[in-house]
Amino acid sequence: MKIDKSLMSGSTMMLILSLLAKEEMYGYQMITELARRSNKTFELKEGTLYPILHGLEAERLVSVREKKADGRVRKYYRITKKGLKTLDTKKEEWGVFTEQVNAVIHGASLA
Amino acid sequence: MRDDFQIWVDAVCEQVRFWPDRKGIEKELRVHYEDRCRDLERLHYERPLAAQRSLEAMGNAQEVGRALDRVHKPWLGWLWEVSRCLALALTVLALSANFLTIGLPTLAERTRGELAWEEPPESASRVELEHATIWAAPGDLREQDGKTVAEVRLWIKMRDPLAANGGVGTLFFTWRDDKGELSRWEFDSFSRTGPESRYWTYNAEASSTGWTRFRQTVKLVLDGPPRWAEASYPLSGGDWTLQGKWEEAL
């Protein structure tokens, strides 16, 4: 099922950091991995990944190195300690957010 | 003729005002696009169709470009470039200044020392110190203003870099001859007289920047011809002496 782009926009950063939490990856690899893990639910316009990655790099949440593989030089992104901390915070926020959304849409009440 | 991807990526890069980053952006996007094309070709897509699909997957060039421009801020980019150039210029300046004021004279001194180096004679007295090996042998004796000037020739081989005290070492040599302790000596252009002159201070720090070996001469100013003269190192508690004997020659 394709989902509304606006639902994804707030969580893209968290998704990318989650992908990088296990291993370093290059851009195309992230796109394919994201599609695979989400059963093709999350399919970004591929060019839009790079502004996000470059932003994460500027904030030092990821670091970059160039590596030659299959005869071509690729930029590999790796999550930093700061990135891991940010990911934890984002996950926590996400947990609270989904819990509250579920509470509202399923009609639960605190009262 | 530009292919479709080149048109797309040019449109992306045009949006990025900080132009020094454009090349890197283009390279990264191109590798991504080619990866996608290869994957589709592996799935038996014809090359033109694979290229078309891959380009469609990249998204809107204007949107991607504008988003990249927001990250690659021109003022931040130029600030970074300027600070990098400034740091580089300062480093070069510091190294040049250091080389001109210390490195070059030291190099010249070292070369001079190397060229003038001759092995000490077999008969030379020798001492092994922590940061140098020193040989001494008697040199010329001559009369001057009613005094005798006895030259002691020294061969000094420094450790490089010096092991002692992180490269700093001072030797306090006391000179004496067969008649007692000396109160006047000259060391090349440097001389001392009076009660403080008991110690010949040899500051290894000044020589630690690369002199490996060199020769020098100590001139001892005496009342008469000595049979021998020796240097010792009383402050260290060491029991070594460097001795020059003239008695055979006299």
Query: CB distance A47–B31 less than 8 Å?
Result: no
The span from the CA of B129 to the CA of B233, in Å, is 11
Average pLDDT, chain B: 77
A54 touches chain B (CB under 8 A): yes
The span from the CA of B138 to the CA of B228, in Å, is 8
* Residues in a beta bridge with B142: B149
User: Which of B71, B73, B75, B76 should we substitute to test contact with A (largest number of A Cβ atoms within 10 Å)?
Assistant: B71
Banded model confidence at residue B196, pLDDT cuts 50, 70, 90 = very low
B147 with B217, same domain: the answer is yes
B20 touches chain A (CB under 8 A): no
Instruction: Give yes or no for a contact between A66 and A74, defined as CB atoms under 8 angstroms apart.
Output: yes
Neighbouring residues of B20: CB distance < 8 A, sequence distance ≥ 6 = B77, B81
Q: Tell me: pLDDT of B166 over 60.
A: no
Q: Determine whether B117 is exposed, middle or buried from the number of CB atoms within 10 Å of its CB (0-12, 13-18, 19+).
A: middle
| Of B188 and A83, more confident | A83
How many domains are there within chain B?
A: 2
Banded model confidence at residue B128, pLDDT cuts 50, 70, 90 = confident
Q: B165-174, B212-221, B236-245: which range is least confident on average?
A: B165-174
B105-111 average pLDDT score: 73
Name the minimum distance, in Å, from the CA of B232 to any CA of chain A: 60
B36 with B141, same domain: the answer is no
Chain B contact set for A26 (CB, 8 A):
31
Banded model confidence at residue B186, pLDDT cuts 50, 70, 90 = low
Name the minimum distance, in Å, from the CA of B23 to any CA of chain A: 14
B143 touches chain A (CB under 8 A): no
Pick from B132, B151, B152: which is nearest to B213 by CA? B132
| Per-residue confidence (pLDDT) for residue B248, from 0 to 100 | 56
Query: CB distance B71–A55 less than 8 Å?
Result: yes
**Residue B216's CATH number:** 2.60.40
A64 touches chain B (CB under 8 A): no
Neighbouring residues of B62: CB distance < 8 A, sequence distance ≥ 6 = B11, B15
Pick from B189, B238, B197: which is nearest to B218 by CA? B189
Which of A27, A48, A55 lies nearest to residue B59, judging by beta carbons?
A48
Which amino acid appears at position B78 of this protein? Answer: W
| Of B192 and B27, more confident | B27
Number of C-beta neighbours around residue A5 at 10 A: 11
Q: Which domain holds residue B170?
A: 125-245
Q: Tell me: pLDDT of B113 over 90.
A: no
Pick from B165, B151, B156: which is nearest to B215 by CA? B156
B194-215 average pLDDT score: 50
Domain end, chosen from B47, B72, B97, is at B72
Query: CB distance B67–A51 less than 8 Å?
Result: yes
Question: What fold, for A5-100?
Answer: Arc Repressor Mutant, subunit A (1.10.10)
ipTM (interface predicted TM): 0.87
B157 with B238, same domain: the answer is yes
Banded model confidence at residue B171, pLDDT cuts 50, 70, 90 = low
pLDDT digits (tens, 9 = 90+) for A16-35: 999 999 999 999 999 999 98
Query: CB distance B59–A50 less than 8 Å?
Result: no
Percentage of chain B modeled with pLDDT above 90 = 28
Name the minimum distance, in Å, from the CA of A28 to any CA of chain B: 5
Chain B contact set for A54 (CB, 8 A):
68, 71-72
Region label for A92, one of left (φ > 0), alpha (ψ between -120 and 50) or beta (otherwise): alpha
Evaluate whether residue B100 is within a structural domain.
no
Query: CB distance B64–A45 less than 8 Å?
Result: yes
Neighbouring residues of B172: CB distance < 8 A, sequence distance ≥ 6 = B199, B200, B201, B233, B234, B235, B236
* Residues in a beta bridge with B174: B199, B232
Q: Which position has the token pair 């070996």?
A: B213
Banded model confidence at residue B231, pLDDT cuts 50, 70, 90 = confident
In this complex, how many residue pairs, one in chain A and one in chain B, have their CB atoms less than 8 Å apart?
58
B29-46 average pLDDT score: 94
Q: Tell me: pLDDT of B144 over 80.
A: yes
Pick from A46, A54, A80: which is nearest to B30 by CA? A46
Domain end, chosen from B72, B89, B105, is at B72
pLDDT digits (tens, 9 = 90+) for A61-100: 999 999 988 788 999 999 999 999 999 999 999 999 889 9
Supply the angle between the helices A12-22 and A81-105 in degrees, to the nearest 10.
Answer: 130
Name the minimum distance, in Å, from the CA of A85 to any CA of chain B: 22
**CA dihedral for A3, A57, A74, B72, sign (positive or negative):** positive
The span from the CA of A106 to the CA of A8, in Å, is 21
B61 touches chain A (CB under 8 A): yes
pLDDT digits (tens, 9 = 90+) for B64-85: 999 999 999 888 778 888 888 9
Banded model confidence at residue B38, pLDDT cuts 50, 70, 90 = very high
Instruction: Give yes or no for a contact between B215 and B120, defined as CB atoms under 8 angstroms apart.
Output: no
Domain end, chosen from B33, B56, B72, is at B72
User: Which of B10, B28, B63 should we substitute to test contact with A (largest number of A Cβ atoms within 10 Å)?
Assistant: B28
